[in-house]
Structure 1
């Protein structure tokens, strides 16, 4: 008996043609209209289909009659003449037209969850107020409701909204019983008819629920009672579906809207789960809306439930989620996100930090947003450090307050900056301990590209010793090594927002060593705290350095390391300083110098006297130098390095402390 959507659409031009003919001739006779609209029908189904289409498109629901403002019109002739009627008007016209067409038809009275229905409403000992039809085709009975097929009533504006709904034509009795309960059980057309009490408990599902192919897994009845302050709704489906929801608390005559933080919605490719977390004790109406995942149209109401919260649970103060769904978005895979380290449930941390990893099918760009009830937006930016690699995205999160956070991730194709960012997922974070001090957040103005990633890879840098964005040291010193395959000119900038004690500039606490293609960035930090180390590069044809990535250095050491020696442009690739590594030398002391300078013919230390270093068998220039009492600097010079010049060039300098050891 089923007809395809294409078949149904072909009925509409015929309807328009017949409608104009009958209206222009002012024909209101049931036999004449029936004969006209069924002309050419090949069987009972086609005749019934013509009657259904005509009813749904020519009769409007009589709202004023329903409200008692005018007489209700039920007789077929008056309904056809005025073009309006209540449910009995539709059913009576349908029955007479079917009789004229030779189709066995019955009017069925009963209860309908339509105009004015409220969940929990009892129909016990009340007169039924709705009517629809049962028709017999091919020896079997079927159900239809032309009144509901024609449209719906907007009671707020007391108006009928024409909205053709084909769902109520020959509806499956298993679905029909959720909204229509006949007075006589045999007209349920079910093998096992349900009692009125069960009908009252059934979840109200709209026609859109079935059109989208939804299956309600939980609950079986409309009423949910919270346990430990929670209740849940779950559905499954076979085609992509997007969801949203609305929660309102029953309070007096007017419902009180509840914000989205009272629900945690999770949508995957095949299922939906909505955790309901009422903020206080009471009764709540929940409306669930959905739309096909293949379009960006409006959401349609699909079902409603009622939630009873017997007693108030401690408020969880969940963050608002304007994107509603938690976990990865259903569309995440099409955006290039394959999987995620976090699910829809809250990720719990007792240390005040989180790491979110998204595995990607192609290079993506990422932006992140962190919110919490006490978190200022400017502070929130300093709680995030993101790393962008060709096959994964990583977001490191710091939590300065206990409680719940929302972390939203937005992505786009890395190679297409013209594409807009789209929400790929929203994650609930719960910090239960170890909240981070505001003075220990990430440095301000971090790049979106922290740690090795696509930028460093494209620049030809590889084999990093530290593959993440965060580098922790308990000694206050660290070495970051990598391979520089394209012989880039490199530069690093060390930054700390606030320094407790002033000393040498932070650039003196970073030292580069080049050994063939291997690069070592040595860092010796002057005090504890959080630093930003920016790595920059340029080629021989570039005018300016470009940022490749930022490292976040977390130093928990109380030691104060001295600066490195100051290097100059003559410090060539392949040069290695073995001793002394510190840039501050004690006065009146002998210091061993050991340095490798490729191609150098002569290496000297310039102080109170000129001290020539000697070349060892291992090609290292060595010698002991006396710092003296009057010199503030010792300078290391070399000749013959690089271009083969015999002139001495300063390659680095060391500061000599005063005799009072003042830095």
Structure 2
């Protein structure tokens, strides 16, 4: 885990006289945060030496202050570490030995830095990151004793002498931490005040030096031995395990901006942020993503050169993580062949994966960890269970671990990601891998990732209430599209994967937050044979912004219910949403409970309402019960509409549906010629003042008729002239007895004459005061047709057909 030192600043450690045994505590990995020390509202600077231009801090001054502080401390209190910083020449690291400055050559600088990072009397080996400042830590580090206690004593002593009023700094930790740049480090070096005399102690300088030392010490911990402590995870980025300022009464934290001369107050990060809080707009990554995708070959000669190239345009740890993640997801393909055949995957080390650009999950995760190490990003490889491509919904895991992914640290908090699943998908049948980036697996919120990722170590779930293996196995299979569409498990009526039927059926419900459309597949599944599609066993409808899926298995057994979805109701591709395992012990008597619709499963007027085709309906649910053989369905709408109906299989019963359109509503009269379940499809188009246009919108009802009328007669046939305002009062049956005198009464707006034509005889009707036309006519001979006709222009002797009757 060691890394070469490329910084321009080194730290010289001056130890106090007392040394207590060290006590190990769980490490918290944080990136060192340089600070600006202010006094009197101005930035202090240190005079430069003539020979090297280095900022130099008086060792004697610090030692004298330490001895002064020792008088204020209890004798049982262990000593703190004081840190002295100076600019390092490019050829080595300056250290002080026997009050003399010497330079260690570049070849041995790494060993020297590692020795500085190892506390005395400790067997722990610490490896620093590629940070620009390294420190040595001495003295006791017990859980009950904190550096902030000594800082408090310093403040109290300073208050008594009235030499300095310590100012409370503002934390500048933001959701995206700025990259440490040479200019920033230089500003920090220049801001360290040179202590003057023995009477005045720069309290802020000591406090901030210790705060920075504590942060740098945290970065010297080995990540491989680190596990997240849930209490520490909730702490802010500036907290490294010590007591908070509120507990100790100290305020020793100051931050640094990219512009040192102008401090900008920002809220302190005291919790792990949601992804939408950390990244409100993903479009900010567009240029960075393109940069990673288009990485030239010459930049990929080594992992070091690749990282240097990728992080060049970045300005924060978040951007560094993003650009490394995007490179991984677009350049490393999954080893499908090795996965399918079960053969040994070979060398999956970071070096081998980087060379071959092919890996399974472990290789992905380990390479990403290595790239993060080179980019100074705390990163861990996590192993556990995952519901991958071969996962069977409702099944139990036979192995302890079958997948690997990563955790990265930002602002002191851990975030989860999966390079493997973000890269694309595998085609098992052809043993090929298809690159297809999935945003869901970048910094996924823990409560979402746990739906299909369960780490071996519960602490890496990053949840206050960890999920058990049994609970994880019992959950419904949820895919990234489920969360991308704004859905959550609480929106489901069934969170468990196994759904038993009751009385031969089961209904899954899903609450919607916006209009969506669905495609459903229902397949038999016995674990042995290949699943086969079963039609007409699922009724899907949308009622009051709730998607419902009623399943009626045809036989006893197990079945897969797979649901795909997309935003909106327009045409387009649907994405894999979720999957259930339906268990049926006692099936219903009927083998095909729902009418055939050529594989379509959406029923009811739900999408009509979502699309705004209609604004209301008398029957919002898909199934319409017809206990006495006839029913009336009404639609309300904002603009004028034309409707056309198809009733029964192959539209053979169209004449048993009659539509009466009005300006703001339409009424559909329906008669059932036979008992049973029949489909009614209503097509719609907007009335644009002409007969042009197609009926492209439609909804379908299931008419469930228990008993039909003894003599069920059809309605009269209508034509294109049958528009808003038209209505027939008598006769309403489409079949008329032959040679009978019949009273006709109809309403037909905007016509000047209406007549009944039967056997070539014209019987003109009389217009009443209510725009209705009324009169008697003889039906004519059997087997003929009777027509109701009218004309609109009194100067043109041309009539249009309105209604058609059959004479029997």
State the TM-score, normalizing by the size of structure 1: 0.72
CA RMSD in angstroms comes to: 3.2
**Pair 473,256 (structure 1): closer, same or farther in 2 beyond 3 Å:** same
C-alpha displacement of 1:359: 1.6
Residue in 1 aligned with 2:530? 254
Per-residue CA deviation, residues 191-244 of structure 1 (Å, 9 max, x unaligned), is: 100110000011111111111112332101111111111111121232221111
Q: Does residue 1:5 correspond to 2:282, yes or no? A: yes
**Pair 122,343 (structure 1): closer, same or farther in 2 beyond 3 Å:** same
> Could you tell me which of 538, 541, 548 is aligned with 2:795?
541
Residue in 2 aligned with 1:498? none
Select the structure that is richer in helix: 2
Q: Does residue 1:226 correspond to 2:501, yes or no? A: yes
> Could you tell me which of 636, 644, 654 is aligned with 1:367?
644
Q: Aligned with 1:330: secondary structure?
A: helix
Q: Aligned with 2:323: secondary structure?
A: helix
Residue in 2 aligned with 1:619? none
1:448-459 correspondence to structure 2 within 5 Å:
453-454=723-724, 456=726
**Pair 395,465 (structure 1): closer, same or farther in 2 beyond 3 Å:** closer
Select the structure that is richer in strand: 1
> Could you tell me which of 267, 277, 284 is aligned with 2:552?
277
Per-residue CA deviation, residues 389-426 of structure 1 (Å, 9 max, x unaligned), is: 32222322222221101111111112254432123321
1:542-561 correspondence to structure 2 within 5 Å:
542-547=796-801, 549-550=802-803
Higher mean alpha-carbon deviation, 525-534 vs 1-10, is at: 525-534
Residue in 1 aligned with 2:656? 383
1:52-451 correspondence to structure 2 within 5 Å:
52-66=325-339, 67-69=341-343, 71-123=345-397, 126-215=399-488, 216-251=491-526, 252-259=528-535, 261-267=536-542, 270-293=545-568, 296-315=571-590, 317-322=593-598, 323-332=600-609, 334=611, 336-372=613-649, 377=651, 379-415=652-688, 417-435=691-709, 440-442=713-715, 446-447=718-719
Q: 2 CA distance for matches of 1:413 and 1:131? A: 55
**Does the CA contact (< 8 Å) of 1:491 and 1:537 recur in 2?**
no
1:32-71 correspondence to structure 2 within 5 Å:
32-66=305-339, 67-69=341-343, 71=345
Q: 2 CA distance for matches of 1:139 and 1:485? A: 76
Residue in 1 aligned with 2:757? 493
> Could you tell me which of 279, 291, 304 is aligned with 1:14?
291
C-alpha displacement of 1:492: 1.5
Q: 2 CA distance for matches of 1:293 and 1:82? A: 42
Residue in 2 aligned with 1:661? none
**Does the CA contact (< 8 Å) of 1:351 and 1:435 recur in 2?**
yes
Mind listing any 5+ residue stretches in structure 1 that lack a counterpart?
457-463, 495-504, 556-663
Residue in 2 aligned with 1:502? none
Q: Aligned with 1:434: secondary structure?
A: coil
Q: Aligned with 1:171: secondary structure?
A: coil
Higher mean alpha-carbon deviation, 379-388 vs 137-146, is at: 379-388
Q: 2 CA distance for matches of 1:6 and 1:507? A: 75
Residue in 2 aligned with 1:512? 765
C-alpha displacement of 1:355: 2.3
**Does the CA contact (< 8 Å) of 1:37 and 1:51 recur in 2?**
yes
Q: 1 CA distance for matches of 2:628 and 2:545? A: 35
C-alpha displacement of 1:18: 2.5
C-alpha displacement of 1:485: 8.5
Per-residue CA deviation, residues 126-145 of structure 1 (Å, 9 max, x unaligned), is: 23111001112111111110
Q: Aligned with 2:299: secondary structure?
A: helix
**Does the CA contact (< 8 Å) of 1:469 and 1:551 recur in 2?**
no
C-alpha displacement of 1:181: 0.8
State the TM-score, normalizing by the size of structure 2: 0.60
C-alpha displacement of 1:537: 2.5
Per-residue CA deviation, residues 438-475 of structure 1 (Å, 9 max, x unaligned), is: 7x3345x543666xx4275xxxxxxx78399669999x
Q: 2 CA distance for matches of 1:483 and 1:116? A: 65
**Pair 149,486 (structure 1): closer, same or farther in 2 beyond 3 Å:** closer
**Does the CA contact (< 8 Å) of 2:292 and 2:324 recur in 1?**
no
Q: 2 CA distance for matches of 1:352 and 1:527? A: 30
Q: 2 CA distance for matches of 1:288 and 1:380? A: 32
Q: Aligned with 1:297: secondary structure?
A: coil
Mind listing any 5+ residue stretches in structure 2 that lack a counterpart?
1-277
Q: 1 CA distance for matches of 2:369 and 2:564? A: 35
Q: Does residue 1:466 correspond to 2:729, yes or no? A: yes
C-alpha displacement of 1:338: 1.6
Q: What is the aligned residue count?
A: 521
**Does the CA contact (< 8 Å) of 1:470 and 1:551 recur in 2?**
no
C-alpha displacement of 1:265: 0.8
Q: 2 CA distance for matches of 1:545 and 1:213? A: 57
Higher mean alpha-carbon deviation, 330-339 vs 388-397, is at: 330-339
Higher mean alpha-carbon deviation, 57-66 vs 312-321, is at: 312-321
Q: 2 CA distance for matches of 1:137 and 1:485? A: 72
**Does the CA contact (< 8 Å) of 1:386 and 1:449 recur in 2?**
no
**Does the CA contact (< 8 Å) of 2:501 and 2:582 recur in 1?**
yes
**Does the CA contact (< 8 Å) of 1:204 and 1:305 recur in 2?**
yes
**Does the CA contact (< 8 Å) of 1:106 and 1:134 recur in 2?**
yes
